[in-house]
Amino acid sequence: MAELSLGEIALRTGGRISQGDPSLRFSSFNIDSRLSQPGELFFAIVAKRNGHDFVHDAFSKGARGAVISQDIPPAGPAFALIRVPDTVAALQALAKSVLAEQAPRVIGITGSIGKTTTKEFTAALLSPCFRVLKSEGNFNNHLGLALSLLKLQPGHEAAVLEMGTSSPGEIRELTRIAPPDIAVITNVNPVHLEFFHSLEAIASAKKEILDGAKEDATAVLNGGDPFVQKIAQEWRGRRLSFGFSPACDIRASGIRKLGADGMTFELHLEGRAKRVRFPFFYEEYLSNLLAAVGAGHALSLPFEAMVDEIPRLTPFSGRGGLIQLDHGLQLIDDSYNSNPKALEAALKGLASLPAERRVAVLGDMLELGPAEADFHRQAGRQVAANGWDLLLAVGPLARHIAEGAVAAGLPRARVLTFTTSDEAARSISTLIEDGDLILVKGSRGIKIERVVERLKDAFKEK
């Protein structure tokens, strides 16, 4: 993590020290007082909540200073203060200066679906050969990306950064902080339609990563996505395509499903081919892996090094990992997020796994705009079409999922709706039978992970 003196921070942020010793050093930076740690520098961000109202909370937890743009009540003579015109701009300026100082290769990853998975795969493939920093969780906005960059240390050779958006211009802002050496676009799909209203608008927003990339950057592009191909038409730099078509530079063929053990496939890269075991059973994740291989290839990572690392990849929390529980239960924890395309892939992909019954616990998919009811009814139809035996629909839009499932032939007695995840969690253990396969998936705002927690409490993990 970057270690900087109060004086250096003031200089880099264009601020002035209003209190504190300029030689005082900081190596931890934060914007959320609930997560404050001793010794940190707290940035009082003005957003839905005013961070200046929480400076004293940070101080009480051991923060040694704050960057502020408004007056605050005194927090003690030993508490350092830097005054700036804009705390968001100050945080970003500091992050940009640290990036310029450490100078790792920047891999920027955007797309409607699979950003975090691609980021995790990319970091894992690079780690045996490079010292890698990756953005934490889904820290993919103008604040999260800046905080991630402040964790850069001397010796970091690559920074793998997720770049998300919910409105036009956001990715452009992120590329101003961290211009990519390698720009990855996973896909364009119907998410955040509440803000963008059309796939064309989503595609235009994703194009911003290409517009903001370095002049000598490499673009790693989904070769099977027509929207991605269209927005990349003006790209004049090096490009690598990934996908399942023979025309792609990085492609997969000969996929063989291994049930709960994942799959094997033939990995092709510029004339070389190797059969590889991939320890995930979602075929959608294979596309994310190919994007990661493309990023690795752009950094001249040896083909054999990537082939060796792929079988060692491990599932991450809430992203479709298989959890074996007592009574022969198989829990698929895909609770981190949901959208129509990813849910369709999950319902279809898991239908082939052996189980006594298949139980879908589905939370609302958020930010889908005026067509949200139609998307949820379609999800219900997919539950029935793929042979799932029991549906538990959760959230304010649950009735639409239920309507779709019943209309497509799932008996009404096997369709239950719950207003909240807590309500579903209280009932789940009474509805499960020995040998069930249980998929839990929903948008973050529904907190569907509470169902996962309840199942793990009720049935011992093996």
Give the pLDDT mean for 182-189: 96
The whole model's pTM is what?
A: 0.89
pLDDT tier at 193 (50, 70, 90 boundaries)?
low
Residue 50 CB neighbours (<10 A)? 12
For every residue of 187-221, DSSP letters joined together read ---S-SHHHH-SHHHHHHHHHHHHHTS-TT-EEEE
In this predicted structure, the answer to whether residue 329 has a pLDDT above a threshold of 80 is yes
- Tell me: pLDDT of 136 over 90: no
Domain 4-84: state its class.
alpha beta
d(CA 314, CA 120): 10
Percent of the chain with pLDDT over 90: 83
Stretch 245-256: mean pLDDT: 97
Which of 322, 320, 289 lies closest to 306 in space, CA to CA? Answer: 289
Give mean pLDDT, residues 437-461.
93
Taken as a whole, the chain contains a residue count of 462
Question: Three-state DSSP class for 64?
Answer: coil
Which pLDDT does position 321 carry in this prediction?
86
Q: Does 462 have pLDDT greater than 70?
A: no
| Burial category of 71 from C-beta neighbours within 10 Å (exposed 0-12, middle 13-18, buried 19 and up) | exposed
Q: Spell out the alpha helix ranges (H) of 317-448.
A: 340-350, 372-385, 398-407, 421-431
Residues of the chain with CATH 3.40.1390.10: 4-84
pLDDT tens digits along 72-110: 998 888 999 999 999 999 999 999 999 999 999 999 999
Domain 103-312, CATH among 3.40.1190.10, 3.40.50.10860, 3.30.300.30, 3.40.50.300: 3.40.1190.10
The amino acid present at 380, given as its one-letter code, is G
Mean pLDDT over residues 26-49, rounded?
96
Quickly state the pLDDT bin for 369 (edges 50, 70, 90): confident
Quick check: 2 pLDDT over 80?
no
At residue 191, the pLDDT reads 73
Q: Whole-number mean pLDDT of the chain?
A: 94
Region class of 377: left (phi > 0), else alpha (psi between -120 and 50), else beta = alpha
Residue 444 binned pLDDT confidence (cut-offs 50, 70, 90): confident
- CB half-sphere exposure, 353, CA atoms < 13 A: 28
Residues of the chain with CATH 3.40.1190.10: 103-312
- pLDDT > 90? residue 320: no
More confident residue, 197 or 235: 235
pLDDT the model gives residue 171: 96
At 389-443, the pLDDT tens digits run 999 999 999 999 999 999 999 999 999 999 999 999 999 999 999 999 999 999 8
Q: How far apart are CA 169 and CA 173, in angstroms?
A: 6
| Domain 321-458, CATH homologous superfamily name and number | Mur ligase, C-terminal domain (3.90.190.20)
Nearest Cα neighbor of 106 from 214, 231, 240 is 214
Percentage of the chain modeled with pLDDT above 70: 99
What region, left, alpha or beta, does residue 35 occupy, with left being phi > 0 and alpha being psi -120 to 50 degrees? alpha
Match 């032939």 to its residue by tokens.
409
The CA distance from 92 to 70, in Å, is: 18
- Helix/strand/coil for 263: strand
Query: Tokens 């698929």, residue?
Result: 332
Q: Which residues contact 450 (CB under 8 A, 6 or more apart)?
A: 421, 422, 424, 425
Q: How confident is the model at residue 74, as a pLDDT?
A: 85
pLDDT at 192: 67
* 336/62: higher pLDDT: 62
Region 37-66: what's the mean pLDDT?
96
Asked if pLDDT for residue 249 goes beyond 90, the answer is: yes
Residue 370 φ then ψ, to 5°:
-60, -25
